[in-house]
Chains A and B, each alone.
Chain A
Amino acid sequence: MNHLRAMAGAVTAITGFEKGSGKTTFLGHALPQLRAHGPVAVFTIGVDGAQKARESRSPASEIRVEPGDVVMTTQPFAHHGSARLEVLEALPGRSSLGHLFLGRVVRGGSVTLVGSDHLSVLADVVARVREEGLATSVVVDGAVNRLTQVGALGEVGYIVTARVDRSNLLRAAAHLRHFVTLAGLPIDPHPASDVHRMEDVLDADRLARLPSEVKVLSVEDFTKIFLDPALLARTLERRAITVRRGFRLLGLAVTLRDVERDELKRALGEAVSEQVIFNPYEAA
């Protein structure tokens, strides 16, 4: 599978628009296959990870790890999981969840991932994992609104997870098409002086206030664009939008419930459908 080949040996963020979009399920699918290329480092990002662990303290936020995997968690969670870890580094800050640390799995089993409240800690850890060859592939679990921060980790590919059922088919398809459009915006890290550079978000209000002579807009990255699909489409007919930082979209991991693949493909259109990774848990 192309997306797994792209994830091997790289840093990949798995991101979804909402809770229950299937991030952990996708992770469970990807990890065993990535291990074929060497040890895997699995992290969760920012407060979300800590919050998730804090809220649940249940097996739901656990993942299955194998010897050689590298994870970030806290001492109490490590102690109560069935996996056993050796401590490779004590990480800054002590949260209410205990001492955060970087650990390597010495006995496979379950472990709860915990993220640092500070993205710089994750960035340092990812850099160290790469420099010291602690893992071949790095996977980061994080919400889409954290993508900008994930971008700070360097060259990052990402996978978007989505759950589609009959009640949200059209909305989800529009959302995914919109996402692919945003992800496909041309990248121009150093826009020319005549390009209108936006440091903040681009939303309908700010767009309406732009002088009509502005023909090319530059935004930091696509997560800063808050235009609905119709408005984005109309805007792109009249103006070009470029991003100063691009993220490599590796695929859209979609879980279908009561919806046939062809229905989704029709709703997405041919070009976007090519990006879809259908539920890998479906029996052959």
Chain B
Amino acid sequence: MRDFLAYAEFEAFWDRFQPETPGGRAIKDTMAVHRDAEVLEGLWDDTEAALKLLQSLDGDVPGLSRLRHHLKRIPRLPDAASKDFDEVEVFQFKKFLHNYKNIVLLLDDASLGHFGLRYESESLEALLDKGRQSPESFYVSDAYSEALARARRRIEDLNQGIEALRQQRVKEIHGRWALDFGARAFLVVPRSRLGDAASAASLLLIEPFDHDHWTVRPLPSGQELTLLEERTEWLARERNEEDAVLAQLSKTIHAEMTTIEAYRKALTRFDLAFARARLAKEEALVRPTLHQGAMSIAQGRFIPCQEHCQRLGMTYMPLDARFDEPSTVIFGSNMGGKTVVLKTVAFLQLCVQTGLFAPATSFATRLFSHFLYLGEGRTPLEARGLSGFGCEIRSLAEAWPDLDAPTLALFDEFARTTNSREAEALLSAVVEALATRPVTALFSTHFRGVKRLPGAAYLRMKGLDRAGLASGFDGDTSLEARLRLVDAHMDFRLVPDDPQAQVADAIAVAGLLGLDGALTERAAHFFHDDSKE
């Protein structure tokens, strides 16, 4: 599968699918390839519902922005198995409920109904909001418990008492040594300034700093120490009261966990659908059709190639194709677009089976259990000592049992590294064997000697349109200019192949790419001589 994904250049496109909630992102990260039509139709129904919502928000930039703002702020929910939630976990529930509620408020009835989104946790939300809190923060406020409020009042009183006593002590120290602590907890003072350290110790905690200095801090009075000790006790009581509040809140949350879990599931489903819909809108994707018939593509776009062409200022030609037979052999000259046809098919099918809409004006296909790619760029096998040809054959041998099940198999110039006669024989055998299996197998090849077999179709890229080619050069011989010229005269359409046709586009393309004219003329001469023989 990894080779197939890489061949289709699909993963970069998948990155554009951007769910915004933790649940949506986690599902996206699995990049599940679905093989169940019912599941996919369900996902596409969701996408269509989300597209309708997206259309209704067309022009409502603030509405769309608010919706995405709240989706982005949905937190990951804590593990429901926890008996008691801590403050951070309660915060996560609260933040979830706040943003979830706002999403529900922003959606229309059709969307709410379709995705099963509803909000009925007002009382829990109000409970988590107690004590004039912000809707997106949480604090075990005094409002939860009179005992907690009492503890905090006492701590506050003690803090004030401690501070007053400390200030009194600081004042005494200032009066005796003119030491100004300000906001500092301690001071470094020359030893000479304190005089008799033993006597100073009645007001100061003294520690050696260096040979000439002491570190001093105000010595708490006996009364202050009593208050400090009492505060320690009240701080412990405060913690106990907070724990009691959190235990009570946890019970309430647990009682509503089934509802919250239903919210989470519905929201994740909506988030994924909304992300698929945004992608469909941005990339002009359409809902595919699943059937048992032939794969049929109208204006299919291999988006990486389309964007590459745009960057180079070249025309991109979408693919129209129908693959009626299990095996289809595609001929064509170099730079004629054979590989792009295979990649387009792979890309479209991956869009379908990952639940996306497809980049085409229509795409009818069936579902495949396996995906096979054989050709250049495939990950080399671990086995040492295998040549490129050896790796290809070994990969095919390993995948062969899968080809009894529905498989999309793409052979991009299979056996290109061996001699043409044996390659044609091998290719013919594979084409023939697959012609009776439940596969859609596409073979791109230059080998025109492949046998014409029942159950196999033979197509070719239409190729170079030589009309006006000679006058095409405008003097610019840069590679970019030459590529533009090839592109302008290449017809990337798939047409039925005539087994008798003699196509010599490769020599013409070589000329267009700057090969010495004498060489291309001589090559054409040899080619035509051989053809006569």
Q: Which residues of A are at the interface with B, using a C-beta cutoff of 8 A?
A: 28-29, 32-33, 64, 75, 78-80, 82, 84-88, 90, 98-99, 101, 104, 106-107, 165, 256-258, 279-284
Q: Which residues of B are at the interface with A, using a C-beta cutoff of 8 A?
A: 75-76, 86-89, 91-92, 95, 133-134, 136-139, 152, 155-156, 179-180, 182-190, 193, 209-213, 215, 231, 235, 239, 242
Chain B CB count within 10 A is highest, among A32, A86, A87, A280, for A87
**Within the complex, which residue of A79, A87, A257, A279 is in contact with B91, where a contact is CB–CB below 8 Å?**
A87
Given contacts A78-B87, A99-B88, A258-B211, contact A86 B138 (CB under 8 A): yes
* CA of A28 to CA of B92, assembled, Å: 32
Shortest distance from the beta carbon of B11 to any chain A beta carbon, whole Å: 22
With a cutoff of 8 Å between Cβ atoms, the chain B residues found around residue A106 in the complex are: 139
Q: Do B137 and A75 touch (CB < 8 A)? A: no
* CA of A80 to CA of B239, assembled, Å: 8
**Cβ contacts A to B, 9 pairs, < 8 Å:** A82-B235, A85-B139, A86-B137, A87-B87, A90-B76, A98-B86, A106-B139, A257-B213, A282-B188
Q: Do B187 and A283 touch (CB < 8 A)? A: yes
* CA of A275 to CA of B400, assembled, Å: 74
Given contacts A29-B184, A279-B188, A282-B187, contact A87 B239 (CB under 8 A): no
With a cutoff of 8 Å between Cβ atoms, the chain A residues found around residue B211 in the complex are: 258
With a cutoff of 8 Å between Cβ atoms, the chain A residues found around residue B213 in the complex are: 257
With a cutoff of 8 Å between Cβ atoms, the chain A residues found around residue B88 in the complex are: 75, 87, 90, 99, 101
With a cutoff of 8 Å between Cβ atoms, the chain B residues found around residue A78 in the complex are: 87
Q: A257-B209, A282-B188 are in contact. List 7 more A-B contacts (CB 8 A).
A: A32-B182, A82-B235, A86-B137, A98-B86, A99-B89, A256-B210, A282-B187
Across the interface, name the chain A residue whose C-beta is closest to B136: A88
Q: Do B212 and A258 touch (CB < 8 A)? A: yes
With a cutoff of 8 Å between Cβ atoms, the chain A residues found around residue B91 in the complex are: 87, 90, 101
**Within the complex, which residue of B92, B187, B212, B215 is in contact with A90, where a contact is CB–CB below 8 Å?**
B92
Q: Do B184 and A281 touch (CB < 8 A)? A: yes
With a cutoff of 8 Å between Cβ atoms, the chain B residues found around residue A87 in the complex are: 87-88, 91, 137-139
Shortest distance from the beta carbon of A35 to any chain B beta carbon, whole Å: 9
Shortest distance from the beta carbon of A63 to any chain B beta carbon, whole Å: 11
* CA of A107 to CA of B242, assembled, Å: 15
With a cutoff of 8 Å between Cβ atoms, the chain B residues found around residue A107 in the complex are: 152, 155-156
Shortest distance from the beta carbon of B348 to any chain A beta carbon, whole Å: 36
* CA of A107 to CA of B142, assembled, Å: 12
**Within the complex, which residue of A28, A79, A88 is in contact with B239, where a contact is CB–CB below 8 Å?**
A79
With a cutoff of 8 Å between Cβ atoms, the chain A residues found around residue B76 in the complex are: 90
**Within the complex, which residue of A28, A86, A280, A284 is in contact with B180, where a contact is CB–CB below 8 Å?**
A284
* CA of A75 to CA of B86, assembled, Å: 7
With a cutoff of 8 Å between Cβ atoms, the chain A residues found around residue B185 in the complex are: 28, 64
Shortest distance from the beta carbon of B290 to any chain A beta carbon, whole Å: 39
**Within the complex, which residue of B87, B95, B133, B179 is in contact with A283, where a contact is CB–CB below 8 Å?**
B179
Shortest distance from the beta carbon of A261 to any chain B beta carbon, whole Å: 13
With a cutoff of 8 Å between Cβ atoms, the chain A residues found around residue B242 in the complex are: 79
Shortest distance from the beta carbon of A28 to any chain B beta carbon, whole Å: 6
Shortest distance from the beta carbon of A124 to any chain B beta carbon, whole Å: 13
Chain B CB count within 10 A is highest, among A32, A78, A80, A88, for A88
Given contacts A86-B138, A87-B138, contact A283 B193 (CB under 8 A): yes
With a cutoff of 8 Å between Cβ atoms, the chain B residues found around residue A86 in the complex are: 133-134, 137-139
With a cutoff of 8 Å between Cβ atoms, the chain A residues found around residue B183 in the complex are: 32-33
* CA of A283 to CA of B209, assembled, Å: 13
With a cutoff of 8 Å between Cβ atoms, the chain A residues found around residue B133 in the complex are: 86
* CA of A33 to CA of B183, assembled, Å: 9
Across the interface, name the chain A residue whose C-beta is closest to B156: A107
Shortest distance from the beta carbon of B74 to any chain A beta carbon, whole Å: 12
